[in-house]
Amino acid sequence: MKISIENRLPWGHPPGFKPKPVFLAMSMKTNKSAGLNPDKDPGDGEGFPSTPAASESEEDGSEFSEVLYERMNLVVSNGQEPMRLDKFLTARIENISRNKVQQAIDGQRVLVNNKSASANYKIKPGDNIVCFSDKQTVGEEIIPEKIPLNIFYEDEEILIINKPPGLVVHPASGNYSGTLINGVAFYLQEHNKKISEETLPRFGLVHRIDKNTSGLLVLAKTSQAVANLAKQFFDHSIQREYQALVWGDLQENSGTIIAHVGRHQRHRKLFEAYPEGDFGKEAITHYEVLEKFGYVTLVKCVLETGRTHQIRVHMKSIGHPLFNDETYGGNKILKGTIFSKYKQFVDNCFTICPRQALHAKTLGFIHPSTQEEMLFVSELPEDMEQVIEKWRAYTRKL
* Domains of the chain in sequence order: 236-398 (3.30.2350.10)
- The predicted model gives 333-356 an average pLDDT of 96
What single-letter amino acid sits at 39?
Answer: D
pLDDT digits (tens, 9 = 90+) for 351-370: 999 999 999 999 999 999 99
pTM over 0.85: no
Question: What integer pLDDT is reported at residue 70 of this predicted model?
Answer: 66
Q: Can you say whether residue 231 is alpha, beta or left, with left for phi > 0 and alpha for psi between -120 and 50 degrees?
A: alpha
Residue 358, φ and ψ in degrees, nearest 5? -140, 130
Residue with more model confidence, 61 or 369: 369
The rounded percent of the chain whose pLDDT value lies above 70 is 80
Residue with more model confidence, 34 or 247: 247
Strands (E), 10-91: 69-75, 83-84
383 is catalytic: no
Report the mean per-residue pLDDT for the chain. Answer: 82
In a 13 Å sphere around the CA of 216, the CA atoms on its Cβ side amount to: 28
Cα 204 to Cα 197: distance, rounded to the nearest angstrom? 9
pLDDT digits (tens, 9 = 90+) for 91-114: 888 777 788 788 788 877 788 998
Catalytic residue among 60, 210, 325, 383: 210
Dihedral angle computed from the Cα positions of residues 383, 219, 256 and 168, in that order, rounded to the nearest 10 degrees: 40
Residue 14 has pLDDT above 60, yes or no: no
Question: What integer pLDDT is reported at residue 278 of this predicted model?
Answer: 87
pLDDT digits (tens, 9 = 90+) for 16-28: 333 333 332 222 2
